[in-house]
């Protein structure tokens, strides 16, 4: 007889495992199905271990500039194996943490590959063979994987995805990064800090193209100053892989072609949802326009009892968005099963922050200035540079700024965009503000602690209304 549950979650990434925990908290008998490692890509191969790598790069960068702080540090070298080992140790620790959370919340874990065979039925194939599980509700949280370049499929030797870039067998000497979204720029930043000759190629007219144009321009300037080569409006042509190098032809924005040898290439051109071979077609589950699974604001698909969250549905494709969706979906399921104490709210994508952990860091929430103008808003925009902030100067990190975008008619905070030291830790202030539907008046009247870099957030708001003090 098949094991029966209230809810089965297919995939244990930050969407899946959080959703399972919330289901269990709400008294639902819950199981999770995972084919690789609990925690998914984010915890094992993405968000967390990359931050461990980037921290090593950041420390390396600071050591190289010790003289700027009146300190001496000579003969600084990187032990690549030790750096990678530290990163993997962080991932392992968190993997054990998620395993512990499954036990604590009495969630049954089935290791294997899951496939929906009918509404409420899931077939799991693992080391022990095939078993059938049944549930009133199934949540698909299968995530996504790196998109391959058709002309240069990743082999783990010379051509890498993020997974290979995290556990390199050797330090690259000359690295090409194709794509300048968060993943591409983070790895470019890490390897550049480690002393590698790095080139970034981006087909759009600017790097980190989803960010505000001022942020893109500032980042490009900073990365070039750090020794990186940046090529925008550029296209990658022929890629010829050899034993010792990869020969790549790059057409620049003027149409000029140049062929260069790189020791390694990282392909970071986006993601593909993991929606193959999980039974979507058999159940006639509707896809959206980008081959992701189509859902409503609560995660419902067009098939009753089947839900989907995270990177396999509409973006932004971020871990914290997946976790939030996971909680919403769990509560919506509990509500359908008769729980009158939960009141889920549909996801508001305008209030989801994005963070990029390059050097300098980037963080943003809401509309860029350009998007707000396109939407027809009359704007009040304020920018405050870190060079006017005492704490940033004292830290030796005066490069950066905060930009805030307001609706001139209502004072609504439409967007906030930051680049510089520790901005990924500060953006939540604006996210809380947006969620509370704040206006400029509340932000102006908020007392920010001194000395902190966060004071630049206050000054940026004041600047939008011509009231900035320190510029």
What angle is formed at CA 351 by the lines to CA 364 and CA 391, rounded to 5 degrees? 40
Catalytic entry in 264, 450, 458, 470: 450
What is d(CA 48, CA 68) in angstroms, rounded to the nearest whole number? Answer: 30
The domains of the chain, with CATH numbers, are 3-145+272-336 (3.50.50.60), 159-268 (3.50.50.60), 360-464 (3.30.390.30)
Position 235 scores a pLDDT of 93
Using CA atoms, how far residue 163 sits from 156, 355, 444, in Å, is 8, 20, 44
What is d(CA 11, CA 36) in angstroms, rounded to the nearest whole number? Answer: 9
Position 1 scores a pLDDT of 52
Look at 44-48, 349-353, 409-413, 423-427 and tell me which has the smallest mean pLDDT.
44-48
Q: What is the DSSP string of 318-365?
A: -HHHHHHHHHHHHHHHHHHTT-SS-------GGG--EEE-SSSEEEEE
pLDDT in tens, 228-263: 999 999 999 999 999 899 999 999 999 999 999 999
What is d(CA 89, CA 56) in angstroms, rounded to the nearest whole number? Answer: 13
Two structure tokens written together for 187: 């790895």
Q: What is the mean pLDDT of the chain?
A: 95
pLDDT in tens, 437-451: 999 999 999 999 999
Is 450 annotated in the active site? Answer: yes
What is d(CA 109, CA 193) in angstroms, rounded to the nearest whole number? Answer: 40
Q: Which band of pLDDT confidence, cut at 50, 70 and 90, is reported for residue 304?
A: very high
β-strand partners of 405: 381, 415
Q: Which band of pLDDT confidence, cut at 50, 70 and 90, is reported for residue 41?
A: confident
Two structure tokens written together for 202: 């981006």
pLDDT in tens, 64-107: 999 999 999 888 999 999 999 999 999 999 999 999 999 999 99
pLDDT in tens, 324-361: 999 999 999 999 999 999 999 999 999 999 999 999 99
Q: Which band of pLDDT confidence, cut at 50, 70 and 90, is reported for residue 153?
A: confident
What percent of the chain is predicted at pLDDT more than 70? 100
Q: Per-residue pLDDT averaged across 291-314, rounded?
A: 96
| Region class of 396: left (phi > 0), else alpha (psi between -120 and 50), else beta | left
Q: Per-residue pLDDT averaged across 128-137, rounded?
A: 94
Look at 41-55, 87-101, 324-338, 407-421 and tell me which has the smallest mean pLDDT.
41-55
What percent of the chain is predicted at pLDDT more than 90? 90
Residue 151 has pLDDT above 70, yes or no: yes
């Amino acid at each position: 007889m098949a094991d029966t549950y209230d809810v089965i979650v297919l995939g244990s990434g930050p969407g899946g495992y959080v959703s399972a925990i919330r289901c269990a908290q709400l008294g639902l008998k819950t199981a999770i199905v995972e084919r690789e490692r609990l925690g998914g890509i984010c915890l094992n191969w993405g968000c967390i271990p990359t931050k461990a790598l980037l921290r090593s790069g950041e420390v390396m960068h600071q050591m190289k500039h010790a003289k700027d702080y009146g300190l001496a540090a000579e003969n600084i070298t990187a032990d690549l194996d030790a750096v990678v080992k530290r990163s993997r140790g962080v991932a392992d620790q968190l993997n054990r943490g998620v395993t512990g959370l499954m036990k604590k919340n009495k969630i049954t874990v089935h290791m294997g590959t899951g496939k929906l065979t009918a509404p409420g039925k899931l077939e799991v194939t693992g080391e022990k063979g095939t078993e059938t599980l049944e549930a009133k509700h199934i949540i698909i949280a299968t995530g996504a994987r790196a998109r391959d370049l058709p002309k240069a499929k990743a082999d783990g030797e010379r051509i890498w995805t993020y997974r290979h870039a995290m556990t390199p067998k050797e330090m690259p000497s000359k690295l090409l990064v194709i794509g300048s979204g968060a993943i591409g720029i983070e790895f470019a930043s890490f390897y550049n800090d480690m002393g590698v000759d790095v080139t970034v190629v981006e087909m759009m007219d600017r790097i980190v193209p989803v960010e505000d144009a001022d942020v893109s321009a500032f980042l490009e300037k900073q990365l070039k100053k750090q020794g990186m080569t940046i090529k925008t409006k550029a296209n990658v042509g022929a890629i010829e892989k050899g034993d010792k190098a990869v020969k790549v032809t790059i057409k620049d924005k003027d149409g000029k072609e140049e062929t260069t040898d790189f020791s390694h290439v990282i392909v970071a051109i986006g993601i593909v949802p993991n929606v193959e071979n999980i039974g979507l077609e058999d159940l006639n589950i509707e896809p959206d326009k980008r081959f992701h699974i189509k859902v409503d604001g609560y995660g419902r698909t067009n098939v009753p009892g089947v839900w989907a969250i995270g990177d396999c549905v509409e973006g932004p494709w971020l871990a914290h968005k997946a976790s939030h969706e996971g909680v919403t979906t769990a509560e919506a399921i509990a509500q359908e099963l008769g729980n009158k104490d939960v009141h889920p709210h549909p996801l508001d994508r305008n209030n989801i922050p994005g963070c990029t952990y390059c050097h300098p860091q980037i963080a943003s929430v809401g509309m860029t200035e350009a998007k707000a103008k396109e939407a027809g808003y009359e704007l009040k925009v304020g920018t405050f540079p870190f060079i006017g902030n005492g704490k940033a100067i004292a830290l030796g990190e005066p490069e950066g700024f905060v930009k805030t975008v307001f609706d001139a008619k209502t004072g609504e905070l439409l967007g906030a965009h930051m680049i510089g030291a520790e901005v990924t830790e500060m953006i939540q202030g604006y996210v809380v503000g947006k969620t509370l539907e704040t206006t400029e008046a509340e932000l102006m009247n908020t007392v920010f602690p001194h000395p902190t870099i966060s004071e630049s957030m206050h000054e940026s708001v004041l600047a939008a209304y011509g009231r900035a003090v320190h510029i």
